[in-house]
Structure 1
């Protein structure tokens, strides 16, 4: 019986860790969230050393939940659709990840900046 409980607890722990990793939980630990509105301006930084993958660099002003502005630089493998909103996770000067969000998910201060109220 103790073995069975040990196995079940181990499965729960491993499942929890996998869930954190798969949802970018560990990657984004200690990051600050900024919100950006995508633009059409980007730099194609694809090189011969990229292994055949396209690489694009965006530099966009982003805002944290309190409305504080920061120039966010991040790289993506696709050209982003214009006028979409992203939540960008930044730690120091490094962008960890990003995800598209709906307008209703933006903090009130960010909505005010983008005149969405």
Structure 2
């Protein structure tokens, strides 16, 4: 009987640990390449209507981005709001061009090579 309780307890702990991982890990950022951009213009707004009649807006950006080594690549990504001018963004990219997520970062948090390229 004791072995049954230990087994059930172990399964419960495994279940709880799995829930914690699912709630805290952002899989859109996990194992993705980081690129950095400097927002200087407004995004191109796109509106679309949901089935319930609600109007949704997306703002599209296409601009040069730099990896930590300073390699440039043009990336296209969207945001649910118009991003702040003069903001530095860290883009999370998979399959070389697919942006899965982004974060705003400070200039000091950019890699040194990227800082030099963005000061121009």
Q: TM-score range by the shorter chain?
A: 0.7 to 0.9
Q: Which of residues 6, 14, 30 is equivalent to 1:9?
A: 14
Gaps of 5+ in 2: none
- Match of 2:78? 75
The root-mean-square deviation of aligned C-alpha atoms, in Å, is: 2.1
Give the stretch that moved more between structures: 48-57 or 36-45: 48-57
Do the aligned residues in 1 keep the contact of 2:35 with 2:66 (CA within 8 Å)?
yes
Work out which of the two has the higher radius of gyration on C-alpha atoms and give 1 or 2.
Answer: 2
Shift of 1:48: 4.1
Shift of 1:10: 2.4
TM-score, normalised to structure 1, is 0.82
Alpha carbons of structure 1 residues 15 and 68: separation in structure 2 relative to 1, 3 Å: same
Distance in 2 (CA, whole Å) between partners of 1:19 and 1:69 is 31
1:36 aligns to what SS in structure 2?
A: strand
Greater share of strand: 2
1:53 aligns to what SS in structure 2?
A: strand
Distance in 1 (CA, whole Å) between partners of 2:42 and 2:15 is 48
Whether 1:19 aligns to 2:24 is yes
Whether 1:84 aligns to 2:79 is no
2:14 aligns to what SS in structure 1?
A: helix
